[in-house]
Amino acid sequence: MMAVTNRDDLAHLPLAEREYVEAVSDVLKNTLGDKLAGLYLFGSATSNAYQPGVSDIDIAAVITSTFPECTYLDLTSRLSHTALPCPARKLEFVLYTQESARNLETRQNSHFPFPYELNFNSSEGIKDYLDLANKGGGQSEHWFVLDIASGRYLGKALYGTDVKETFAEPDWTTVQRAISSGIWWYRRKVSQITRNEKLTPPPTVEEEKEIIDAVLNACRGWRWTETEVWGSKIEGAEWACEFNKTWPVIVKAMEVRRTGSGMIDGLEAAKFLHYVQGALPGPTHL
C-alpha cells in the first residue's frame, strides 16, 4: 500500500477527504506501478480554501511512459465514484506523461501545451466523464494550463519530485491566454443559463454553482494578470473587491459560496465577466 508522502500536507482536510486522497494514491500506485513518476494535489484541496460539499478534489499524476488503453480503462473504473466514493463535489483526475509535463511546445491543432493521457471526472449523481488523448474532442485545453500554472505554486506533491521540478513553467503570455479563454468559456456558459430566463425555470442548483464559479474564477485570473500571484478563488475575489469596488456581484458570489445559501444575478455575473474580459490584454477568445 502506498502512503501519502507527507501527511501534514493533508492535515487541513476533513478526515473523509484525507482518507480518500490516500485511497486514490493507492489505486494509482497499484495500477501504474513503477511507471508512476509523481502524484500531485491541486486546487482548493491544497489549502484552507477547501469547502466540503462545494470544492472538488483535483489530482494530477505523471507517468514515465504510456500504457495501453485497457490499462487506462481499468484505472478509471477503479477511480469511479461507484467503486471509490468521492466525498467532495467531484474528483477531477488528469494523467500526463513526463514528456508532456516538461514540454512547452504546442502540438498541431492545439492552442496550448500539456496534452494529457487521460482526463477523468467522477461524482455522485453524474455520469463519469473520460477523455483519452488519442480520442480527441476533449474539454477545453486552457483548464490544464491553469491547473499546472497555479499548481506549480500552490500544489502539493503526494508522491515523487516537487511539482516545480515535474511541470515546466508556462510563460506569461500562455497563462494570460488561458485565463482569457477560460473567462470566454464561462461567458458562454452563463449566457446559456441566463438566456430567456423570464421564459424558463430558474437556474438549477448546479447552474447556480456554475455562475458563482464563473465570477470567482474570473477574479482569480484577473488577480494573476495584474499581480502574477496565484491564490484561491475566494482570495481572488477579495483582491478584486479592493482593486475595483464597483461590482457588488463579487461580494454576493463570495457570500453565497461561503454560506451555501442565496443566489446571484446571472445577468450581473455576465456583465462582470464581459468587463473582466475587456480588462485583460490579448485576444478575447480562441
Confidence grade of residue 286 (pLDDT, cut at 50, 70, 90): low
At 110 the pLDDT is 80
* Position 62 pLDDT exceeds 90: yes
By residue range, what is the domain housing residue 233?
Answer: 172-279
Residue 27 maps to a domain: yes
Is there a single domain that holds both residue 19 and residue 94?
Answer: yes
Out of 137, 166, 195, pick the residue that ends a domain.
Answer: 166
CATH of the domain at 12: 3.30.460.10
Is there a single domain that holds both residue 39 and residue 142?
Answer: yes
Out of 117, 137, 166, pick the residue that ends a domain.
Answer: 166
At 202 the pLDDT is 78
Is there a single domain that holds both residue 138 and residue 200?
Answer: no
Mean pLDDT of 234-258: 95
Out of 110, 143, 166, pick the residue that ends a domain.
Answer: 166
* Position 47 pLDDT exceeds 70: yes
3-state secondary structure of 176: helix
Residue 266 maps to a domain: yes
Is there a single domain that holds both residue 98 and residue 138?
Answer: yes
Residue 91 maps to a domain: yes
Residue 223 maps to a domain: yes
Q: How far is CA 6 from CA 10, 105, 110, in A?
A: 8, 32, 36
Confidence grade of residue 262 (pLDDT, cut at 50, 70, 90): confident
- Kindly report the average pLDDT of the chain as a whole number: 91
Is there a single domain that holds both residue 18 and residue 150?
Answer: yes
At 180 the pLDDT is 95
At 5 the pLDDT is 52
CA 252, CA 265: separation in Å to the nearest integer?
Answer: 9
HEC profile of 250-272 = HHHHHHHHHHCCCCCCHHHHHHH
At 201 the pLDDT is 75
Is there a single domain that holds both residue 118 and residue 196?
Answer: no
CA 33, CA 61: separation in Å to the nearest integer?
Answer: 12
Q: Is 195 exposed, middle or buried (0-12, 13-18, 19+ CB in 10 A)?
A: exposed
For the stretch 67-99, pLDDT in tens is 999 999 999 999 999 999 999 999 999 999 999
| Helix 15-32, helix 69-79: angle, nearest 10 | 160
Is there a single domain that holds both residue 193 and residue 161?
Answer: no
3-state secondary structure of 44: helix
Residue 140 maps to a domain: yes
Contact yes or no for 39/59 (Cβ under 8 A): yes
Instruction: Report which secondary-structure segment, H or E, holds 22.
Output: helix 15-32
At 1 the pLDDT is 37
Confidence grade of residue 196 (pLDDT, cut at 50, 70, 90): low
| Count: domains in the chain | 2
HEC profile of 142-160 = HHHHHHHHHHHHHCEEEEE
Contact yes or no for 152/228 (Cβ under 8 A): no
Is there a single domain that holds both residue 147 and residue 16?
Answer: yes
Residue 153 maps to a domain: yes
Residue 1 maps to a domain: no
Is there a single domain that holds both residue 21 and residue 154?
Answer: yes
Mean pLDDT of 205-230: 95
Length of the chain: 286
Mean pLDDT of 237-250: 95
Residue 37 maps to a domain: yes
Is there a single domain that holds both residue 161 and residue 177?
Answer: no
Q: Which three cell numbers stand for residue 103?
A: 514540454
Is there a single domain that holds both residue 186 and residue 273?
Answer: yes
Mean pLDDT of 185-205: 81
Mean pLDDT of 239-254: 95
- This prediction has a pTM of 0.92
Is there a single domain that holds both residue 67 and residue 157?
Answer: yes
